[in-house]
Amino acid sequence: MQLDLGPQPVQGAQAMRALGRRLARQLHAGDVLALVGDLGAGKTTLVRGLCTALGVAADDVSSPTFALCNVYQGTSLQIAHMDLYRLESADDLAAAGLDEWLAAPDALCLIEWPEVARPVLPPTTLWLELTTVGNGRVVVQRQR
């Protein structure tokens, strides 16, 4: 699926949240969105915008760096927000509950630092790459 990512570059956190809201209109339960990008690239900011558009309070959305997985209840679906930065190998993925969330038909999976999970992510996974350019960010879709 080709995503509409809107105007680029994305200048400022507010515009990044707006991109998240734009993506929320294009995603459905069962989708997996992998967010590739360095620390500070705006992954969590994008997730915050996306989740608020689905009925989650903005304050509830936080980086799951230590929890591995935060679960939010949206208006019509559950959102599993994962951050796999601290995982060293695919063997540790069970700790994040990744398999269960990938199999959950009524959940949307949003994954920061997804590379370690690449072998187990479905071929339908939507890959976005976020890159810092000057004061803004460029967001592109990659074919895995």
Ligand X SMILES: Nc1ncnc2c1ncn2[C@@H]1O[C@H](COP(=O)(O)OP(=O)(O)O)[C@@H](O)[C@H]1O
Q: Are 41 and 131 in contact (CB under 8 A)?
A: yes
CB atoms within 10 A of CB 119: 8
**16 in contact with ligand X (CB under 6 A):** yes
- Helices (H) and strands (E) in the chain — how many of each? 3, 6
Give me the least distance between CB of 37 and Mg ion, in Å please: 9
Q: Which is nearer to ligand X, 43 or 54 (CB)?
A: 43
- Cis peptide bond upstream of 9, omega within 30: yes
Neighbours of 125 (CB within 10 A): 18
Q: In the complex, which residues of this chain contact Mg ion (CB under 5 A)?
A: 43-44, 63, 112
Kindly tell me which of 22 and 81 has the beta carbon lying closer to Mg ion: 81
Question: Binds 31, which of ligand X, Mg ion, none (CB < 5 to 8 A, cut-off by type)?
Answer: none
At its nearest, how many Å lie between ligand X and the CB of residue 98?
Answer: 18
The nearest distance, CB 105 to Mg ion, in angstroms, is 26
